[in-house]
Amino acid sequence: MIISCIGHAKFLLELENGMRIVTDPYDDTCGYPVAPMQADTVLVSHGHHDHNAVETITGYTQVIDAPGVHTLAPDVKVTAVQADHDDAQGSRRGKTLMFLIEAEGLRVAHLGDLGHVPVKAQLDAIAPVDVLMIPVGGHFTIDAPTARTVAGLMQARVILPMHYRTTANASWPIAPVESFTGLYGKSETVDALRVTSSDLACQPTLAVLRPQSLK
């Protein structure tokens, strides 16, 4: 599996069988450049413009934007678990979805715009995970210290931060990725993560994926 960050919370997962899964596509008000992208399945965590711009994706046959278990192929499954976009049971920003993608012997999670520490039932539905895409910028989502707590509860082996401030969204009231990486002793910055179930021990614990849209 190859995982690339396009920008913000938008990631591309490329499977060995050729399947392409895109998470949380953003529109042109997000600050990041937008280019058409082909995918088979689009995961949409919630209805905000920086996460639900399905119109920027071509070729897809399925959009997953509701809780439940979704089978994409005999060996590819997505479980969508409802959570809150804030720490007040969704009363301020509504709901979001957390996704668990199971493919190629890997458990890969994308936590959408998570705004709180998940409760036991939510953790049981997702954890443990091999690769975790987690928001870290705060204000609209959990902040860096909370994200570290959540990553620990998820038993994440590889952590990919998302939803933080960059040059593309410099005016947003969210923290830069360094607020999160500074909580760890070591991190790596890479263009993409190439991971298999057999090489997890060789992967970095914390990897910052360079946003491909900013190249």
Question: Phi/psi of residue 121, each to 5°?
Answer: -65, -35
Q: What is the length of the chain?
A: 215
List CB contacts of 127: < 8 A, sequence separation 6 or more.
153, 154, 155
> For the chain, which residues make up each domain, given as ranges?
2-214
Please report the pLDDT score of residue 215 as a whole number: 87
Fold observed for domain 2-214: Metallo-beta-lactamase; Chain A (3.60.15)
pTM above 0.85, yes or no: yes
159-169 pLDDT, tens digit each: 999 999 999 99
- Whether residue 6 is predicted with pLDDT greater than 90 in this model: the reply is yes
Please report the pLDDT score of residue 88 as a whole number: 82
N-term to C-term CA, the chain: 22
- Whether residue 27 is predicted with pLDDT greater than 90 in this model: the reply is yes
Please report the pLDDT score of residue 171 as a whole number: 96
Determine the Cα–Cα distance for residues 31 and 47; give it in Å rounded to an integer.
18
**Location of structure tokens 């119109």:** 55
> In the structure encoding, which two tokens stand for residue 165, read together?
């401030």
